[in-house]
Amino acid sequence: MTFVLVALGAGIAVSVELLEAMAIVLAVGVSRRWSDALVGAAAAVVVCAVLAVVVGPVLLESVPLDALRVTIGVLLLLFGLEWLRKGTLRLAGRRARSSALAEFVEAQEALEEAPLPPAGQADWAGRLVAFKGVLLEGIEVVLIVSALAARPSGPAPALIGSAIAVVVVLSAGAWLREPLTRIPETELKWGVGVLLSAFGIFFVAEGLGIAWPGGDLALLYVAAVLAAVSQGQSHHLARTAVPA
């Protein structure tokens, strides 16, 4: 069961981040040139791959098992709680909803003032926007997947979930523009926040020598409690007047 939950958590987290990165690359490709968009994106992928090769083995080899569990748990808690905080505010209407389409429009606007160089010359503005967009989302993916993959039980579930997400999102790239508006990103990110936070609490507790009642089932009830608390606060905030 932990296998499925880790794969699911990694898969959804990677999907959401990839969607945002792809929206930026699409914006550069559509409004500038595809070759420059792909060069910028490819350079960022190389940087992220190097980072992934360094972060995973360093975590596994240099940290003792219990300390590793606490380290992974704290990392996941930091990511998960931040996503959950934003998700709770978004669901309550206290923050703009998450949208890859907005990233698309923002990237296009950022490039409006830079003139497109003639054919044959590199479009550094376009490359830079694509590079930066993919790099920032990519680093988040590397950190989350490395933390989930560095579990003592092995990296398989996190890597399988991530691989499925990459295939699904990249396949969707060809017809992405229109469906971008229909993806419930806010709810997806909130769900990832719940999952990552639950994993974080579970791993930190294991690293501190705690035996959860029910074993791996604890992941489910910890996630359920977090989801209930977040939904409760979101509903409460939605009913409360916004401070002046």
Partner 1 sequence: MTTLRTLKKLVLGETWLLPLGVAVVVLTCAFAAEPLLGDAWESGGGFLLLGGVIVVLLASVARSARR
By the criterion CB under 8 A, which residues form the site for partner 1? 70, 74, 77-78, 81-82, 84-86, 88-89, 92, 94-95, 136, 139-140, 143, 197, 200-201, 204-205, 208-213, 218, 222, 225-226, 229-230, 233, 237, 243
Residue 57, both tokens: 């083995």
**CB 170 → partner 1: shortest distance, Å?**
23
Give SS3 for 119.
coil
**8 or 78, CB closer to partner 1?**
78
**Which of 88/99 has CB closer to partner 1?**
88
Cβ distance to partner 1 smaller for residue 67 or 122: 67
Cβ closer to partner 1: 140 or 185?
140
CA distances from 130 to 16, 118, 154, 186, 205 (A): 17, 19, 33, 23, 40
- Amino acid of residue 176: L
CA dihedral (146, 147, 149, 151) positive or negative = positive
CB of 63 to partner 1, least distance (A): 15
In the complex, what is the shortest distance from the CB of residue 204 to partner 1, in angstroms, rounded to a whole number?
6
| Helix ranges, the chain (H) | 2-31, 34-62, 65-91, 100-111, 124-149, 156-172, 185-207, 218-239
State the minimum distance, in angstroms, from the CB of residue 178 to partner 1. Answer: 30
Smallest gap from Cβ 13 to partner 1, in A, equals: 14
**68 near 76, Cβ under 8 Å?**
no
123 three-class SS:
coil
Here the tokens at position 31 are 């409004």
Q: Please say which residue, 119 or 242, places its beta carbon nearer to partner 1.
A: 242
- Residue 240: exposure state from Cβ atoms within 10 A (0-12, 13-18, ≥19): exposed
Element (H, E) at 92: none
CB of 12 to partner 1, least distance (A): 19
Q: How far is the CB of 242 from partner 1 (least distance, A)?
A: 8
Q: Which is nearer to partner 1, 27 or 91 (CB)?
A: 91
State which residue, 138 or 157, has the beta carbon closest to partner 1: 138
Q: How many CA atoms lie within 13 A of 178 on its CB side?
A: 2
